[in-house]
Structure 1
Amino acid sequence: MPIENIPEIYLPKSAERPDLFVHDFKMTSDVVKSKVNLSMHMFSFLQVGKKQVHFAGTSVAVNKDQSLLLKRGNWLWTELLETEAVYYCKLLFFSEKILKEFLEKHMDNETMVNDDIPYFIIRNDAYITSYLNSLNTIGNAPDIFMDNLLSVKFEELMLYLIQKYGRKFKHYLQSLIGDGRSPFKKIVESKIHSNLRLEEIAFLCHMSLSTFKRHFIREYKVSPGRWLQEKRLQKAKETLEEGILKPSEIYSDFGYNNLSNFSIAFKNKFGFSPSEISSQI
């Protein structure tokens, strides 16, 4: 699957990347685990549909009642339609330069933090609805006024979110300054119990698959495929022993395309099939 460079694909080819940029994104079919190289920090104001994103060390899912602020970097995006025939979100991109200017203006005496927090969930409320309507309105303004209007609107939004979420949001904004890359082991170990393929985990590590495999063997002294299979099968066994879910309900969560392959791998490791656990509980 090709990598999408965002927001570059939304800009005219001859245009320089602005410090602030608004884009209305719509689609009429589901997109699953699209590879995205996000070169600016971004607000994603979800209006219709559902969204899930995987970043280096974590993942998050939201619906139309929530919006996201995402850190620049490599992401896997899943965007799904719901009852409507269209998926729609308004995207507001901002550069690190304009973020630094905001932080210098409004948080001079704040202690900087080193947390690596890739996303912040925003609960949509009456203000957010009104704010998005105002972005629609200024979209009709002459180009000569657009930059100044967007700067004012960006500052307004940031101040509102600081007032709403307090220190938690301030710390998040401070965490956006930097290169956005997490340590290799943190990324890998956060994806043990996901159904991501090795190629997708490598992408989140900013590596090609071949580089990822070489780096993995240096770190763990075993191939990534074998290591992940061992960890995932152990977790699958623990899940089945809880007696709530059946093998047919969990195999895809642990990276298997069908129940048969899951059952064979499970029996090879433990000496008994996953269905035997379910029948004993």
Structure 2
Amino acid sequence: MAIENIPEIYFKDVKGPKEIFVYDFKMTSDVVKSKVNLSMNMFSFLQVGKKQVHFANTSMAVNSQQSLLLKKGNWLWTELLDTEAIYYCKLFFFSEKKLTEFLAKYTNNVKPLKEEIPYFVIENDLYLASFIDSLSTNTYTNHSYSDALLFLKFEEIMLYLLNKYGNDFEYYLQSLISKEVSPFKNVVESNTYSNLKLEEIAFLCNMSLSTFKRNFTAEYNEAPGKWLQDKRLQKAKEILQYGELKASDIYLDMGYNNLSNFSIAFKNKFGFSPSDLSAFK
């Protein structure tokens, strides 16, 4: 699957880099785990549909009752239609330069969070609904004062959220300009028991699959495919031993596309099938 460079793919007849940018995004079919290179921090104001984002160390799902502020980086996006036949969200991008200017103007330069978190969940309210309604691609591209208007909108939403969430939001904003990168092992081990494939974990590490495999073998002294399979099968065995779930309930979560492949791999490792495990209890 090709990597989407966002927001660059939305630029049309734009001269030079944009510091602040708004885009109305619509689609009529589901997109699952699309690879995204996000080069600017971004508000995602979901209007219709459901959204899930896989980060290096975690994942987050929201609906139209919440909005997300996302840190720039490599993410996997899943965007799903809801009861409507369309998915619609408003995306509001801002550069690190504009963020730094805003923080210098309005905040006390507090220390960022020790633990980097790639997202901030915003609970929608009446004020935010009004703000989101005021954002429109056409308004801010066909106006002689577009850039000035956008900067005012940027300051407006930032000041409102600072007032709404206080120090928590200020700490998060400071963390957005941190230059630290998540350690390789943290990314791998945060996704050990996910259903992500090797190439998807490699993407979250910002590496090609071949580079990821070399780094993995150097770090763990074992090929990543076997290491992940062993870890996930051991976890599956522990889950099945509790007796509350069956193999058909968990094989997708363990990274297998079908129950048959999971059962074969399980039996090859342990010498008995998942169904046999319940008979041993």
| TM category, shorter | over 0.9
Q: Which residue of 1 aligns with 2:157?
A: 157
Q: Which residue of 1 aligns with 2:244?
A: 244
Q: Distance in 1 between matches of 2:199 and 2:138?
A: 41
Which consecutive residues of structure 1, in runs of 5 or more, have no partner in the other structure? none
Q: Distance in 1 between matches of 2:49 and 2:124?
A: 14
Cα 1:148/1:169, change in 2 over 3 Å: same
Q: Distance in 2 between matches of 1:40 and 1:99?
A: 11
Q: Which residue of 2 aligns with 1:37?
A: 37
Deviations 1:54-94 (A, max 9, x none): 11111111111111110000011010001000000000000
Q: Which residue of 2 aligns with 1:260?
A: 260
- Cα RMSD for the two superposed structures: 1.7
Note the C-alpha offset of 1:160. 1.1
Deviations 1:34-68 (A, max 9, x none): 11000000000011111111111111111111111
Q: Distance in 2 between matches of 1:141 and 1:188?
A: 41
- Say if 1:73 and 1:180, in contact at 8 Å, map to a contact too: no
1:155-194 map, 5 Å: 155-179=155-179, 181-194=181-194
2:203 aligned partner, one-letter code: F
Q: Does residue 21 in structure 1 map to residue 31 in structure 2? A: no
Q: TM-score, normalised by structure 1?
A: 0.95
Q: Secondary structure at the match of 1:174?
A: helix
1:66-85 map, 5 Å: 66-85=66-85
2:44 aligned partner, one-letter code: S
- Say if 2:43 and 2:70, in contact at 8 Å, map to a contact too: yes
1:32 aligned partner, one-letter code: V
Q: Which residue of 2 aligns with 1:197?
A: 197
Note the C-alpha offset of 1:135. 1.8
Which consecutive residues of structure 2, in runs of 5 or more, have no partner in the other structure? none
Note the C-alpha offset of 1:109. 4.7
Segment of structure 1 superposing worse, 53-62 or 29-38: 53-62
Note the C-alpha offset of 1:219. 0.2
Cα 1:41/1:107, change in 2 over 3 Å: same
- Say if 1:74 and 1:204, in contact at 8 Å, map to a contact too: yes
1:253 aligned partner, one-letter code: D
Q: Secondary structure at the match of 1:99?
A: helix
Q: Distance in 1 between matches of 2:199 and 2:213?
A: 10
Deviations 1:162-219 (A, max 9, x none): 1111211111111111346311000000001111110111011011000100000000
Q: TM-score, normalised by structure 2?
A: 0.95
Q: Distance in 1 between matches of 2:93 and 2:193?
A: 31
Cα 1:279/1:164, change in 2 over 3 Å: farther
- Say if 1:243 and 1:278, in contact at 8 Å, map to a contact too: yes
- Say if 1:72 and 1:180, in contact at 8 Å, map to a contact too: no
- Say if 1:73 and 1:181, in contact at 8 Å, map to a contact too: no
1:78-97 map, 5 Å: 78-97=78-97
Q: Which residue of 1 aligns with 2:124?
A: 124
Deviations 1:110-143 (A, max 9, x none): 2344431101111111111010112249816852
Q: Secondary structure at the match of 1:219?
A: helix
1:17 aligned partner, one-letter code: P
1:38-57 map, 5 Å: 38-57=38-57
Note the C-alpha offset of 1:276. 2.2
- Say if 1:20 and 1:147, in contact at 8 Å, map to a contact too: yes
Segment of structure 1 superposing worse, 54-63 or 238-247: 238-247
Q: Distance in 1 between matches of 2:279 and 2:28?
A: 43
Segment of structure 1 superposing worse, 23-32 or 119-128: 119-128
Q: Distance in 2 between matches of 1:141 and 1:70?
A: 23
1:106 aligned partner, one-letter code: Y
Deviations 1:210-253 (A, max 9, x none): 01000000000000001100111111112222322211111011
Q: Distance in 1 between matches of 2:70 and 2:60?
A: 11
